[in-house]
C-alpha cells in the first residue's frame, strides 16, 4: 500500500522532490528470476526504500529516463502516446507494464528542449520490450504515478545529456508541481567472469569512477570518463545519470548509494537522491 503524502511538506521551492538511479535486470522480477532474484537482495531492498520515499513525498508527476527505448546517434526521444509493454524478450510475455503519458509535462519538456536547441524527437511508439522501464515500474508498483513522462538517452556527447537534463528542469519550473525523476541504468557489465559479457580488466576502475562521481555529485567527473573506455567495459548508466544531474542542477541534493552489487558480473547501483 502506498501511503502517499506521509512526509509531505511545502514543495513550492522544490519542484523536484526526489531523484533515483535504478538498475533494471529482468531477473529481479520473480516471474523471470524464478528464485535467482534473491541473489540481488540488496538491490531489491533498495528498491523498496525508493518506493517508500516516492509515496511519502507524494510526487504528483514522474519522469522516467530510459536506456533501452529509442536510442539513436543524434537525437533524444520523448514518448507522446501511452506506454505499453511486456517482457516477452525475456521469455515472460505475461509480465506486462504500462502507464498513460503525462502530456502536460511532455509538452513542457518538448518546448524547453526547443528553446535550448536540444534535438528531441516526439515518438508515438516505443520499444515494447523496454525493460529499463518495465523492471522499475513493476518493482515500484503503485508508487509510480498513473501518468508519467518518458524520455530516452542518445549517443550524443555527455555534455549534451546534461543540457537535455537542464531543459527538463526548465520544464518542471513551468509545471510547478512536485516531481520525481528516475534514471534507469545498469552500470558496468564486465566486472567478472560471471558476466555473460566477459570480464574487462578496467571494469572496476570505471565502476568506482561512476560511484565516486555520483556520491560527490560531480557532473564534470562523469563527463570526463573516456567514452571509448565506457564502451569497452559496457556501461549503460552514465548517460541517464547525467540527464538526472542536469535536471537537478542548482538544487541542493544529498545522494545516497543504497546498494551496489554485482551478483552476475554486472554492476547494479541503486541510488536515492534526496532534495535538501
Domain containing 165 equals: 16-275
The enclosing domain of 114 has a CATH number of 3.40.830.10
Residue 225 lies in a domain: yes
The number of residues making up the chain comes to: 276
The answer to whether the beta carbons of residues 248 and 16 sit under 8 Å apart is yes
CA dihedral 155, 223, 263, 152 (to 10 degrees): -30
Residue 93 lies in a domain: yes
Contacts of 273 (CB under 8 A, 6+ apart): 18, 19, 20, 21, 244, 248, 253, 254, 255, 256
Residue 11 lies in a domain: no
pLDDT on residue 176:
84
User: Is the pLDDT score of 72 beyond 60?
Assistant: yes
Give me the percent of the chain exceeding a pLDDT of 90. 91
Q: Per-residue confidence at 83, pLDDT binned at 50, 70, 90?
A: very high
In angstroms, the CA 199 to CA 82 distance is 39
In angstroms, the CA 22 to CA 62 distance is 14
pLDDT digits (tens, 9 = 90+) for 31-56: 999 999 999 999 999 999 999 999 99
Residue 1 lies in a domain: no
pLDDT on residue 60:
87
User: Is the pLDDT score of 13 beyond 50?
Assistant: no
Q: What is the mean pLDDT of the chain?
A: 94
pLDDT digits (tens, 9 = 90+) for 128-170: 999 999 999 999 999 999 899 999 999 999 999 999 999 999 9
- What pTM was estimated for this model as a whole? 0.95
Contacts of 13 (CB under 8 A, 6+ apart): none
* Number of structural domains the chain divides into: 1
User: Is the pLDDT score of 11 beyond 60?
Assistant: no
User: Is the pLDDT score of 264 beyond 80?
Assistant: yes
The mean-pLDDT minimum among 13-17, 179-183, 217-221 falls in: 13-17
The answer to whether the beta carbons of residues 217 and 242 sit under 8 Å apart is no
- Looking up cell 520490450, which residue turns up? 129
Residue 202 lies in a domain: yes
User: Is the pLDDT score of 3 beyond 70?
Assistant: no
pLDDT on residue 34:
96
User: Is the pLDDT score of 10 beyond 80?
Assistant: no
pLDDT digits (tens, 9 = 90+) for 52-71: 999 999 888 999 999 999 99
Contacts of 3 (CB under 8 A, 6+ apart): 55, 56
User: Is the pLDDT score of 268 beyond 50?
Assistant: yes
Residue 4 lies in a domain: no
In angstroms, the CA 9 to CA 39 distance is 37
pLDDT on residue 151:
99
User: Is the pLDDT score of 4 beyond 90?
Assistant: no
Q: Per-residue confidence at 6, pLDDT binned at 50, 70, 90?
A: low
| Average pLDDT over every residue of 186-192 | 98
Amino acid at each position: 500500500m502506498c501511503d502517499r503524502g506521509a512526509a509531505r511538506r511545502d514543495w513550492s521551492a522544490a519542484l523536484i522532490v526526489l531523484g533515483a538511479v535504478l538498475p533494471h535486470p529482468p531477473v529481479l522480477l520473480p516471474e523471470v528470476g524464478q528464485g535467482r532474484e534473491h541473489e540481488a537482495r540488496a538491490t531489491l531492498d533498495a528498491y523498496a526504500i525508493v518506493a517508500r520515499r516516492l509515496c511519502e513525498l507524494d510526487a504528483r508527476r514522474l519522469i522516467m529516463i530510459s536506456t533501452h527505448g529509442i536510442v539513436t546517434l543524434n537525437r533524444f526521444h520523448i514518448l507522446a502516446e501511452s506506454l505499453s509493454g511486456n517482457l516477452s524478450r525475456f521469455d515472460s510475455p505475461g509480465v506486462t507494464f504500462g502507464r498513460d503519458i503525462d502530456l502536460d509535462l511532455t509538452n513542457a519538456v518538448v518546448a524547453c528542449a526547443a528553446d535550448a536547441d536540444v534535438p528531441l524527437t516526439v515518438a508515438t511508439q516505443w520499444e515494447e520490450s523496454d525493460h529499463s522501464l518495465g523492471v522499475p515500474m513493476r518493482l515500484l508498483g503503485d508508487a509510480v504515478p498513473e501518468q508519467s513522462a518518458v524520455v530516452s538517452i542518445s549517443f550524443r556527447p555527455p555534455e549534451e545529456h546534461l543540457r537535455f537534463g537542464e531543459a527538463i528542469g526548465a520544464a518542471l519550473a513551468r509545471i510547478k508541481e512536485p516531481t520525481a525523476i528516475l534514471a534507469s541504468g545498469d552500470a558496468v557489465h564486465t566486472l567478472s567472469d560471471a558476466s555473460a559479457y566477459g570480464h574487462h580488466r578496467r571494469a572496476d576502475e570505471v565502476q568506482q569512477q561512476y560511484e565516486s562521481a555520483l556520491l560527490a555529485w560531480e557532473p564534470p567527473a562523469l563527463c570526463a570518463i573516456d567514452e571509448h573506455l565506457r564502451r569497452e567495459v559496457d556501461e549503460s548508466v552514465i548517460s541517464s545519470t547525467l540527464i538526472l544531474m542536469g535536471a537537478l542542477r542548482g538544487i541542493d541534493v544529498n545522494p545516497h548509494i543504497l546498494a551496489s552489487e554485482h551478483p552476475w558480473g554486472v554492476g547494479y547501483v541503486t541510488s536515492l537522491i534526496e532534495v535538501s
